[in-house]
Structure 1
């Protein structure tokens, strides 16, 4: 049973106020700076992450330098939760990340509103009950005070006289410093009579570390299974809340229950002083997952599986984007400006914007570099369309610059080698089809994971092995011919780009789109419109290699 409170301290963002728009815009501006902040190498190793979700978040940020799309869609996770997950055990890295976040936040803060309807009335009721109120937050005071003046006409300030920010203490949450400092200002000792209301696991752990009662505010609509993990009795965790409320009306229900049972006596009777019941915050619309899903696909079991290299099996994004940055300023001297695709011929408005940005500024649009989801081959396809000679010139210029940057190559997922070896153990023939020139590919193939993956593939076809690169089918046709196969649905090509899908469909093989970038369905429909001019669509979409492995296992009995 909850102890009656004399003090209730609140988290700020995600509990009392909604600053989600500003927070996520700031995160999307700050995360691309990880490399210059020297924080990429300090990301938590995936093998040491607290759970698979944290490991996926670390991997996504390492590769794409942005938040996983599911986090952006659900809008539940705070920057503190993100930094605690990706820099766990490295408080100095977290401090650097928070400082960088604060610098970026100055361009976005001010967009603030009550997290749910009626919060002023609820705070006023708590004040009438004689409960001392305050805020303990990781927000910097500069932003907290500005937002407090902005929200609800500034009416909350008198009801929240004690406010402790991250700059008032030595350590960020989950250290207990902000709570202890607030209690010092209230001249109150930590104990069960102090409640801390927050919306995250970090808040619950902070309350535990401070020795106060943790109350979880489920304004983000976490489902029951997620909540049950927090308060599991079989495996008690420090962040287990003493109570869970879905809105501020349920917080008053907890207090009235204590009053009714004679466990608490307030300055006024709560039952007679409650405000009208305001509805809890509405849930955000769900993310629309891809529907070219394995469970819906009608596929032929594979005998030969060919893989793309970059952004499918391995991560070489840093070197690739550095080389593109170096190459694009040369397009005028290369005679390529006049050969850029006319906007009317672009597949989508986004493609047309990319072409126009390169035409005017000789560089990628900043959004492309922030998203880090498009390969150099796709970039050149967008810029030059079917102009093969222009693309060859662009690829050669890219290769000159890539020599300065290549060398670092990481598995795209931790278990890629095991997955490839498992496919071989099943009797499947494997190969790599890449637009990477052999000079670079052979170095990367030998360097990945220190020992290389050369023995895992029966053939490799590089960009300079055939007259034309993807999206033309030459490379796929050469690989199948070399291995004694005919092209057909029993040959699969797994790749992460529209170029890979087009090459597969032109070659007459099964196209498996590897959605490592986690595009949602509306975006997939944009890049694969199925129109007369752009007819090619993948046969199936897989979001990671565990899903791909399960798909192969399901189909192999049919072949046998």
Structure 2
């Protein structure tokens, strides 16, 4: 029977690890931030904090630091600012680069009538710094951070905000792509038609298997071909 489900109209793409390659700058910035808040390298606390950072890749950075500091808002803000400063320095001195083929994929998606929205756990300031470094401001329809939406991943707020901002009529028209389990959980909770993982970032197939998703792709460049097929609904796993 021919599917009557509507085609994808809105594509939400994560940044670091999905469309942007930063050569480990996120984790390096976490190491510097942990030292700033008194969790130095070589301690069991540091190892535990790094493990938590890896497990929560893709989530709002301030929420990660709130968890690491047991809700101490002063130290959470201090750690988050240290992280942002370290990552910004990396962008300025070493630069960032696209995941190979990401920009061409985005251009293709937009040329075929899709809204393309970038989502990230970074602050708006860091997000804009990355977009400037890549020259991507005119490439995408919109870019969103947790501050623009309410809550970060794994909550669905970023995706639902993208839906509202672009005037997309239903989550059944939404495809969301990311490299972490938090990305996939957000897509599932938003009811996205496609909740796709990519193998270019922090998490592995074994990680993806622990959360609901519809597809695992080698790269974001595989997305256009996927959208040409009849995708399964977002409640598949």
Name the TM-score class by shorter chain.
0.7 to 0.9
Aligned residues of 2:65 and 2:80 also touching (Cα < 8 A): no
Check 1:378–1:445 CA distance in 2 against 1; reply closer, same or farther (3 A cut). Answer: closer
Aligned to 1:422: 108
CA-CA distance at 1:463 after TM superposition? 2.5
Q: How does 1:69-108 map to 2 (within 5 A)?
A: none
Aligned residues of 2:21 and 2:98 also touching (Cα < 8 A): yes
Aligned to 2:224: 549
1:498 pairs with 2:181:
yes
Query: What secondary structure does 2:11 align onto?
Result: strand
Q: How does 1:177-326 map to 2 (within 5 A)?
A: 301-326=7-32
What count of residue pairs does the alignment treat as equivalent?
219
CA-CA distance at 1:389 after TM superposition? 5.2
Q: How does 1:368-407 map to 2 (within 5 A)?
A: 375=57, 377=59, 384=67, 394=76, 397-406=79-88, 407=91
Q: Residue 99 of structure 2 is aligned with which of 406, 412, 421?
A: 412
1:537 pairs with 2:221:
no
Aligned to 2:235: none
- Whole-angstrom CA distance in 1 between matches of 2:72 and 2:118: 25
More contact order relative to length (CA 8 Å, sep ≥ 6): 2
- Whole-angstrom CA distance in 2 between matches of 1:506 and 1:497: 15
CA-CA distance at 1:487 after TM superposition? 4.1
Aligned to 1:511: 195
CA-CA distance at 1:466 after TM superposition? 3.1
Aligned to 1:222: none
- Whole-angstrom CA distance in 1 between matches of 2:218 and 2:176: 15
Q: Residue 435 of structure 1 is aligned with which of 105, 118, 121?
A: 121
The structure having more radius of gyration, on CA atoms, is: 1
1:453 pairs with 2:136:
yes
1:476-506 deviation per Cα after TM superposition (whole angstroms, max 9, x unaligned): 2211111112442211111111111111111
- Whole-angstrom CA distance in 1 between matches of 2:73 and 2:18: 22
Aligned to 2:148: 465
Check 1:316–1:471 CA distance in 2 against 1; reply closer, same or farther (3 A cut). Answer: same
- Whole-angstrom CA distance in 1 between matches of 2:186 and 2:137: 24
Check 1:392–1:554 CA distance in 2 against 1; reply closer, same or farther (3 A cut). Answer: farther
Aligned residues of 1:497 and 1:513 also touching (Cα < 8 A): yes
CA-CA distance at 1:549 after TM superposition? 2.1
Check 1:404–1:383 CA distance in 2 against 1; reply closer, same or farther (3 A cut). Answer: closer
- Whole-angstrom CA distance in 2 between matches of 1:300 and 1:366: 42
1:283-320 deviation per Cα after TM superposition (whole angstroms, max 9, x unaligned): xxxxxxxxxxxxxxxx8631110111111100124331
Ranges in structure 2 where 5+ consecutive residues have no aligned partner: 232-237
- Whole-angstrom CA distance in 2 between matches of 1:472 and 1:388: 20
Query: What secondary structure does 1:456 align onto?
Result: coil
Query: What secondary structure does 2:172 align onto?
Result: coil
Tell me the TM-score normalized by structure 2: 0.75
Farther off after superposition, 358-367 or 454-463? 358-367
CA-CA distance at 1:390 after TM superposition? 6.5
1:481 pairs with 2:185:
no
Aligned residues of 1:307 and 1:431 also touching (Cα < 8 A): yes
Query: What secondary structure does 2:105 align onto?
Result: helix
Tell me the TM-score normalized by structure 1: 0.34
- Whole-angstrom CA distance in 1 between matches of 2:187 and 2:163: 12
CA-CA distance at 1:455 after TM superposition? 1.3
Aligned to 1:329: 35
1:360 pairs with 2:66:
no
CA-CA distance at 1:323 after TM superposition? 1.4
Query: What secondary structure does 2:117 align onto?
Result: strand
Aligned residues of 1:487 and 1:507 also touching (Cα < 8 A): no
Aligned residues of 1:472 and 1:506 also touching (Cα < 8 A): yes
CA-CA distance at 1:331 after TM superposition? 4.8
Aligned residues of 2:179 and 2:203 also touching (Cα < 8 A): no
CA-CA distance at 1:528 after TM superposition? 3.8
